[in-house]
Amino acid sequence: MIEIKALTKTFHTRTGTLTALDNINLSIHDGEIFGIIGLSGAGKSTLVRCINLLERPDAGEVWLDGRDLMKLSNRELLEVRRGIGMIFQSYNLLEQRTVLRNVLFPLEISHTPRDKARERAKELLELVGLADKADAYPSQLSGGQKQRVAIARALATQPRYLLCDEATSALDPNTTASILELLQVINRTMGVTIVVITHEMAVIDKICHRVAVIDKSHIVEMGAVNEVFANPQSDIARELILPHVKTTASVRGGPRVRLVFNGESSYSPVVSNLVLECGVPVNILFADTKDLDGKAFGHILLELPDDPRQSGRVIAWLDRNHPSYSLEVQ
Backbone phi, psi, residue 97, to 5°:
-110, 150
Among candidates 62, 8, 3, which has minimal Cα distance to 30?
A: 3
**For the chain, how are helix, strand and coil distributed in percent, rounded to 5?**
35, 30, 30
Residues 285, 221 within the same domain: no
Q: Does 248 map to a domain? A: no
**pLDDT tens by residue, 247-288:** 555 556 788 998 888 877 767 888 999 999 988 889 988 888
Q: Does 64 map to a domain? A: yes
The C-alpha atoms of residue 94 and residue 106 are separated, in whole angstroms, by 12
**Exposed / middle / buried, residue 170 (Cβ in 10 Å: 0-12, 13-18, 19+):** middle
Residues 167, 89 within the same domain: yes
Residues 50, 77 within the same domain: yes
Residues 184, 64 within the same domain: yes
Asked if 228 and 220 count as a contact pair (C-beta separation under 8 A), the reply is no
Q: What is the pLDDT of residue 245?
A: 46
Q: What is the pLDDT of residue 287?
A: 86
The Cβ-side half-sphere exposure at 249, using a 13 Å CA radius, reads 5
Asked if 257 and 326 count as a contact pair (C-beta separation under 8 A), the reply is yes
Q: What is the pLDDT of residue 248?
A: 54
Q: Which residues of the chain have pLDDT under 70?
A: 242-252, 266, 329-330
Residues 74, 212 within the same domain: yes
Residues 196, 49 within the same domain: yes
Residues 107, 227 within the same domain: yes
Q: Does 247 map to a domain? A: no
Left, alpha or beta for 216 (phi > 0: left; psi -120 to 50: alpha)? Answer: left
Domain extent, residue 101, equals 2-241
How many residues belong to the chain?
330
Q: What is the pLDDT of residue 60?
A: 94
The angle subtended at Cα 172 by Cα 164 and Cα 184, nearest 5°, is 40
pTM of the model: 0.74
Q: Examine the fold and report which residue of 206, 241, 276 is the final residue of a domain before the chain moves on.
A: 241
Q: What is the pLDDT of residue 242?
A: 67
Residues 270, 231 within the same domain: no
Q: Please count the structural domains in the chain.
A: 2
Neighbours of 227 (CB within 10 A): 14
In CATH, what number is assigned to the domain containing residue 285? 3.30.70.260
Residues 265, 220 within the same domain: no
* Cα-based distances in Å from 213 to 47, 117, 183, 255, 261: 12, 39, 21, 47, 45
Give the distance from CA 16 to its chain's centroid: 34
In CATH, what number is assigned to the domain containing residue 16? 3.40.50.300
Residues 104, 137 within the same domain: yes
The C-alpha atoms of residue 50 and residue 53 are separated, in whole angstroms, by 4
